[in-house]
Amino acid sequence: MRMMHSTWQRYPPIEAPPAVLALATDPRGLWAGGAGGLARYHHEMDEWRWIVGGSPFSTITALALAGRWVFAGSAEGLVRSPDGGASWQIADDNALGAAHPVTAIVPSPRFSDDGVVLAATLGGGVLRSENAGRTWRPANFGLQNFEVNGLAWHAQREDVLAATSDGVYHSPNGGRAWRSTEGTEGLAVAAVAFLNGNRALAAREKGGLLQSNNCGASWSPLASNLPAEMTAATLFAALDAIWLGASEGAFRSADGGYTWELVLAEPVLSFASDGTIIYAGTADGLYRCSTDGAVALPAPPVHDLRYLLIADRTPCVAGLHAGLWRWDEAQREWKHRVHAPAPLTAVEVSPDGALVAAGAEGLLRSTDGGESWRQCLSVQDGTIARITFGSAGLGWAASSDGAQLWRTRDGGHTWQALDPPFGALPLAALQAMPHGLIAATYDRRLQLAQLWLSTDDGATWRRGAEAKTNWPVVAACAEPLVITLGDQAFVHEFGGHWGQYPVGADRAGVRRIAAWGQSLFALTASRLLRSADGGLNWLPEADVPMANEILDMAVADGVLYLLLSGGRVWSRPARGD
């Protein structure tokens, strides 16, 4: 990393545990995916590097490598990199409709010749690509259950196995068609793996193992010494052994699955191997496993601390699972606000300085910096993902699917339900402005972002500008009022008109936008930019970290704050030199 200007103040890193949901290896290092995105460990540099690379996705749940190609899956869909992670492309899957969480990705054993990749999803079945992940189509012929937990592809044949919540399905033709398999009907199966020859193993979600001696065409129970009520998550065959990840830990079998030894007593979510070492990803970090046990390794920066806000001139950092952390200036350390909602789906500062946060049960309010909370809105259906406040106590909150909208007139103490106009489209943004309210929806199938405007505090709405973009992220700030769609900034100008201007010359999607005085700051996928003329022209900000290290930014009281990978926070005067 370049040397930074001496005016940066560096806060101590936040020690939030990462959940390593996906692992993969290549000759140069180890890849790890989790709730905070994707990171890569470089052996030659002996360090982890967090990767943004243009992807708007956060939680990475599946990884696969094929030569220089990298494939990653998340709750939002699929992305691919043709150059080892240097750049990223969002998959063109318009025909798929709503996105489904991706649980596994497996390239064909002949990927370099046929470019075929399969992906398992929860709710969408199996997806198949024949052009190295550029486009995907459903491959569900014969598949009766679309809750697919895992995939396995035979190393020398076209046989593919799918683990579903209703048994194992077998495909003899590379995932084009499927049939249910004898001996697994009605069983919830968590994972499958091919072993040597035609033998395969399946782990039930609860209740033990199944084995097959004919490439998965039929199955029978396999007696073993595993705990009877073990909750399985993943299976992995490498280094002449079988590795099983479960909530009870990592287990190893050297005799084909009959006897097992406990190697690591931590819930294991993922495995990978570079041919000599077995790596295990857990809810708290990363381990190297062997017959002698497990050794903890430096944790990858994939915790989900991705959001930065300033409350009472004090930085706070938040993540869906990592929760809320607040800087304690007196003790010079970060304090975890353990009583904040969990999972934490949204958090904002009200006009009177209180914190308003959203969790599974609704909205809660804190007037002591997150130390204690009082529930102010109970929600049974839907997840609140957007909170915004205007002046004089006005504020709004909305569910992620855009189906529910609430308004407060007293800074978040009480809330009133409103009728949103957004239909079935998910809400990508909600932003209060000096004389109204702006919302944005995103149509994944059409790759279309649509703006909505309300001038009566959210009671009625009218459609505004729209833009075609494959970047499903909308950023906004109130003063001056600017909304970004993809790489375009829509600026509210004199007379109520909207001007449209490109943000930067490299056409990278905007992740975050903030303002202080006449200066606008835009964090894109490739750099941090500043505009001194209200968004008409943009120049790169000098002496800042690389954009792929910056997760979020905030500007308050003349200070620019950056949240960097690894839970680091930096700050300096917003106007620079």
Between 373 and 15, name the one with better pLDDT.
Answer: 373
For residue 1, the model assigns a pLDDT of: 38
pLDDT per residue over 195-227, tens digit each?
988 999 999 998 799 999 999 999 999 999 998
CA distance 449 to 3: 38
For residue 52, the model assigns a pLDDT of: 63
What mean pLDDT comes out for the span 178-192?
95
**Residues contacting 464, CB < 8 A, separation 6+:** 438, 450, 451, 452, 453, 498
For residue 397, the model assigns a pLDDT of: 96
**Has residue 434 got a pLDDT over 90?**
no
Q: How confident is the model at residue 171 (pLDDT cuts 50, 70, 90)?
A: very high
Q: Helix, strand or coil for residue 460?
A: coil
For residue 315, the model assigns a pLDDT of: 96
CA distance 82 to 67: 9
**Has residue 482 got a pLDDT over 70?**
yes
pLDDT per residue over 385-428, tens digit each?
999 999 889 999 999 888 999 999 999 999 999 999 998 888 88
Would you say 471 and 512 are in contact if contact means Cβ atoms under 8 Å apart?
no
Q: How confident is the model at residue 577 (pLDDT cuts 50, 70, 90)?
A: very low
Residue with tokens 């072993």: 195
**Residues contacting 149, CB < 8 A, separation 6+:** 103, 104, 120, 122, 163, 164, 165, 189, 190, 191, 205
**Has residue 575 got a pLDDT over 70?**
no
For residue 392, the model assigns a pLDDT of: 87
Which of 70-79, 140-149, 336-345 is least confident? 70-79
For residue 3, the model assigns a pLDDT of: 43
Ranges of beta strands (E only) in 320-394 are: 323-328, 333-337, 346-349, 355-359, 362-366, 374-378, 384-389
For residue 2, the model assigns a pLDDT of: 43
Sheet of 241-246: strand order equals 232-238, 241-246, 249-253, 261-264
CA distance 516 to 518: 6
Would you say 194 and 237 are in contact if contact means Cβ atoms under 8 Å apart?
yes
What mean pLDDT comes out for the span 89-106?
74
pLDDT per residue over 134-155, tens digit each?
999 999 999 999 999 999 999 9
Neighbours of 213 (CB within 10 A): 14
Would you say 242 and 253 are in contact if contact means Cβ atoms under 8 Å apart?
yes
Q: How confident is the model at residue 93 (pLDDT cuts 50, 70, 90)?
A: low
For residue 221, the model assigns a pLDDT of: 95
Q: What Å distances lie between residue 65 and 39, 108, 117, 269, CA to CA? A: 14, 11, 11, 18
CA distance 192 to 162: 7
With vertex at residue 120, the alpha carbon angle to CA 235 and CA 269, rounded to the nearest 5 degrees, is 35
User: Hey, what are 565's tokens?
Assistant: 């990978």
CA distance 302 to 297: 14
Which of 137-141, 206-210, 265-269, 328-332 is least confident? 206-210
**Has residue 441 got a pLDDT over 70?**
yes
What mean pLDDT comes out for the span 467-477?
81
Helix H, strand E, coil C: the string for 68-132 is CEEEEEECCEEEEECCCCCCCEECECHHHCCCCCEEEEEECCCHHHHCCEEEEEECCCEEEECCC
pLDDT per residue over 276-314, tens digit each?
999 999 988 999 998 888 999 988 888 888 899 999 999
CA distance 573 to 360: 37
For residue 486, the model assigns a pLDDT of: 82
For residue 53, the model assigns a pLDDT of: 54
| pTM of this structure | 0.78
Would you say 461 and 418 are in contact if contact means Cβ atoms under 8 Å apart?
no
Whether the upstream peptide bond of residue 107 has omega within 30° of 0, thus cis, is: no
State how beta strands 126-129 and 395-399 pair.
Answer: unpaired
For residue 222, the model assigns a pLDDT of: 95
CA distance 280 to 142: 34
Residue with tokens 């030659």: 44
Would you say 52 and 321 are in contact if contact means Cβ atoms under 8 Å apart?
no
Which of 36-50, 407-421, 473-487 is least confident? 36-50
CA distance 244 to 267: 11
Average pLDDT taken over every residue of the chain = 89
**Has residue 485 got a pLDDT over 80?**
yes
Between 99 and 184, name the one with better pLDDT.
Answer: 184
What mean pLDDT comes out for the span 266-285?
92
Q: Helix, strand or coil for residue 479?
A: coil
Per DSSP, the residues of 391-417 read: STT-EEEEETTSS-EEEESSTTSS-EE
For residue 98, the model assigns a pLDDT of: 57
